[in-house]
């Protein structure tokens, strides 16, 4: 049954108090002090955003435009709303959306009504919630038509004072305004705004809805533990991994989507955030180790499955993606350094996916160690370029019997990236089978060995050896090696340590042209028989 534009169910509160001028968010026990409170309405943001009157009109003291637009409609700024205002027209940027959903009348009539909610912003410190009521088709159409980042014009919305009952606001995003707006299917309009000043609102999407220093680090969340269970807090972190979207059906038959996102910051390498419903679409443009998030009012719970604290979105949550703050710039720089550091032997397969290696038998160019090192320097900023060669040298480091190193590791069977101790494979390949969120991702045991090769010109230290090359050299699989006792491992080591070896090496530049890193990987490694007569450059040693 469609709603007939009656607002009988709304409990109006007639108050003459002015909108509160300071930070009024809920204080979580142990949260950080609010050093940068929002004022009621400002004309400037420290990032340089300048408030403008809409359609070129200037604002009068009563909050309306002196000059109406071409249709004769007068717009009001959010911060100029008063208790004397009944119906208004506002232009603003959508910074959050929730719904559509349905509720039943509080009067017990059994009437079902449908709604979709938006949070509009027209100033760095002024934003307000608007609820659009109507039939199911109306709510669905609005939800499909409008998204976060759209500039819209609201016409004829009813102004309502916020309820003094805190429980009435616990399912809505926090706003500094003392009012909220209501729009009906047959009363008022919500349209896209295409005025000349529409672009002025775009920068508002990068201004956090809370003070930029009001957040928990991921380490703080884990340290507080159960003290934060079911609390709403702010998180400031870097996107590390976006899992594939999953479609679920609830017990009531409702279809819903979710996506799990792995976050990190300078204090914690992995923390899970789950996004539900409308929030899922926001992740389409999120990039690992590049996208910075300020997530206001995410819900924290303890997860038995993860044996720790996790976060999820709900109707109060508001995301600011890549906020225009100093803190975000610092975290972004941290992400760039992390991206460079992860291009090590654990992610060599990523480089291989970019550059297809030639057949090992076709690599015949003989190199001295000093020549390999020169190539490393030449490829520092090569953005993924590679060079290949053959090195004849002594195996000067082959510590496969060490107790303090993981010679064998569990890796994704498709991308060969390490699987975490909790059984989760954080793979960068979007189509990787290890991306499936399951307790037992497809994985295999493989060697994780580094060696040093030395000739008369120098040493190549800590070179990662391809797992297949180690299997061929030792003539045993990773699982067989893991099951062997220490004495057998030691015997295997001394069969090759300080022996003359032939190594086929790949010298790779990082995929990031700014990282200044290069890597040496041993693609094949074999022992040279003593009876073989060495020729060429190796005979000089």
264-300 pLDDT tens trace: 988 888 899 999 988 888 888 898 888 999 999 999 9
Find out whether 65 and 58 touch, Cβ atoms under 8 Å: yes
Find out whether 192 and 152 touch, Cβ atoms under 8 Å: yes
In a domain, 435, yes or no: no
Give the separation between CA 459 and CA 394, rounded to whole angstroms.
9
Find out whether 273 and 215 touch, Cβ atoms under 8 Å: no
- Out of 314, 340, 366, pick the residue that ends a domain: 340
Residue 464 has pLDDT above 50, yes or no: yes
> By C-alpha distance, which of 464, 531, 467, 466 is closest to 500?
531
* Average pLDDT, rounded, for the chain: 76
Residue 239 has pLDDT above 70, yes or no: yes
Which residue did the predictor score with more confidence, 402 or 395? 395
Query: Residues 6 or more apart from 14 whose CB is under 8 A from it?
Result: 83, 161
Angle (nearest 5°) at CA 68 between 123 and 16: 55
Tell me: do 197 and 243 sit in the same domain.
no
In a domain, 37, yes or no: no
Q: Mean per-residue pLDDT for 9-15?
A: 39
Give the separation between CA 69 and CA 125, rounded to whole angstroms.
25
In a domain, 257, yes or no: yes
Tell me: do 146 and 223 sit in the same domain.
no
Tell me: do 147 and 286 sit in the same domain.
no
What is the DSSP secondary-structure string of 436-470?
A: S--SS-SEEEEE-EEEEEEETTEEEEEEEE-HHHH
Query: What is the structure's pLDDT at 235?
Result: 95
Tell me: do 108 and 224 sit in the same domain.
no
Give the separation between CA 475 and CA 138, rounded to whole angstroms.
69
Give the separation between CA 128 and CA 147, rounded to whole angstroms.
16
In a domain, 44, yes or no: no
Residue-range definition of the domain harbouring residue 98: 54-206
- Out of 307, 340, 373, pick the residue that ends a domain: 340
Query: What is the structure's pLDDT at 31?
Result: 43
Tell me: do 275 and 332 sit in the same domain.
yes
Give the separation between CA 502 and CA 242, rounded to whole angstroms.
42
Tell me: do 522 and 459 sit in the same domain.
yes
82-96, 150-164, 273-287, 515-529: the lowest-pLDDT one: 515-529
Give Cα 66 distance to the centre of its chain.
44
Which stretches does DSSP call E strand in 105-211?
112-123, 126-134, 151-161, 179-184, 189-192
Tell me: do 347 and 313 sit in the same domain.
no
- Out of 171, 206, 241, pick the residue that ends a domain: 206
205-214, 230-239, 296-305, 403-412: the lowest-pLDDT one: 403-412
In a domain, 272, yes or no: yes
Find out whether 98 and 115 touch, Cβ atoms under 8 Å: no
Residue 139 has pLDDT above 70, yes or no: yes
Query: What is the structure's pLDDT at 398?
Result: 93
In a domain, 365, yes or no: yes
Domain count, the chain: 3
For the stretch 166-181, pLDDT in tens is 777 778 899 999 898 9
Angle (nearest 5°) at CA 19 between 18 and 25: 145
363-367, 401-405, 508-512: the lowest-pLDDT one: 508-512
Tell me: do 169 and 225 sit in the same domain.
no
65-74, 89-98, 370-379: the lowest-pLDDT one: 65-74
In a domain, 424, yes or no: no
Tell me: do 335 and 349 sit in the same domain.
no
Query: What is the structure's pLDDT at 383?
Result: 60
Tell me: do 260 and 323 sit in the same domain.
yes
Tell me: do 374 and 519 sit in the same domain.
yes
Tell me: do 317 and 360 sit in the same domain.
no
In a domain, 283, yes or no: yes
CATH number for the domain spanning 307: value is 2.40.50.140
């Amino acid at each position: 049954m469609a709603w007939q534009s009656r607002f009988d169910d709304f409990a109006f509160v007639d108050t003459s108090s002015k909108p509160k001028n300071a930070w009024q968010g809920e204080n979580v026990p142990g949260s950080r002090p609010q050093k940068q409170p929002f004022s009621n309405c400002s004309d400037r943001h420290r990032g340089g955003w300048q408030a403008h009157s809409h359609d070129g009109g200037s604002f009068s003291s009563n909050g309306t435009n002196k000059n109406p637009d071409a249709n004769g409609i007068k717009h009001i700024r959010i911060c100029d709303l008063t208790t004397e205002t009944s119906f208004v027209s506002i232009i603003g940027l959508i910074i959050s959306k929730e719904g559509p959903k349905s509720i039943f009348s509080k009067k017990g009539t059994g009437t079902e009504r449908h709604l979709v909610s938006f949070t509009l912003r027209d100033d760095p410190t002024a934003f307000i919630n608007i609820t659009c009521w109507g039939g199911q088709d109306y709510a669905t159409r609005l939800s499909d038509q409008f998204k976060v980042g759209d500039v819209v014009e609201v016409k004829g919305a009813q102004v309502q004072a916020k309820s003094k009952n805190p429980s009435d606001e616990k399912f809505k995003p926090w706003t500094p305004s003392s009012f909220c707006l209501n729009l009906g299917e047959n009363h008022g309009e919500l349209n896209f705004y295409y005025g000349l000043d529409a672009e002025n609102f775009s920068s508002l999407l990068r201004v956090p809805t809370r003070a930029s220093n009001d957040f928990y680090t991921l380490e703080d969340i884990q340290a507080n533990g159960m003290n934060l269970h079911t609390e709403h807090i702010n998180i400031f972190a870097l996107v590390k991994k976006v899992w594939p979207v999953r479609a679920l059906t609830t017990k009531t038959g409702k279809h819903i989507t979710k996506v799990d996102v792995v976050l990190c910051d300078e204090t914690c390498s992995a923390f899970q955030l789950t996004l539900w419903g409308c929030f899922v679409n926001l992740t389409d443009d999120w990039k690992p180790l590049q996208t910075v998030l300020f997530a206001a009012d995410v819900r924290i719970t303890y997860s038995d499955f993860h044996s720790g604290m996790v976060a999820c979105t709900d109707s109060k949550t508001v995301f600011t993606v890549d906020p225009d703050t100093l803190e975000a710039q610092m975290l972004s720089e941290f992400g760039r350094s992390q991206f460079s550091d992860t291009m090590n032997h654990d992610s060599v397969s990523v480089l291989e996916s970019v550059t297809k290696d030639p057949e090992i038998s076709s690599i015949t160019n003989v190199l001295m160690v000093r020549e390999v090192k020169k190539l490393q320097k030449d490829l520092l900023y090569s953005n993924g370029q590679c060079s290949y060669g053959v090195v004849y040298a002594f195996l000067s480091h082959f510590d496969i019997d060490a107790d303090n190193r993981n010679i064998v590791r569990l890796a994704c069977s498709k991308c060969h990236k390490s699987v975490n101790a909790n059984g989760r494979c954080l793979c960068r390949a979007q189509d990787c089978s290890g991306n499936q969120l399951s307790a037992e991702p497809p994985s295999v045991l493989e060697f994780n060995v580094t060696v040093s090769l030395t000739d008369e010109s120098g040493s190549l230290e800590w070179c990662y050896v391809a797992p297949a090359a180690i299997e061929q050299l030792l003539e045993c699989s990773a699982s067989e090696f893991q099951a062997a006792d220490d004495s057998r491992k030691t015997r295997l080591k001394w069969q090759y340590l300080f022996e003359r070896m032939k190594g086929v090496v790949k010298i790779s530049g990082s995929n990031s042209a700014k990282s200044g890193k290069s890597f040496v990987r041993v693609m094949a490694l074999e022992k040279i028989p003593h009876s073989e007569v060495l020729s060429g450059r190796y005979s000089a040693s």
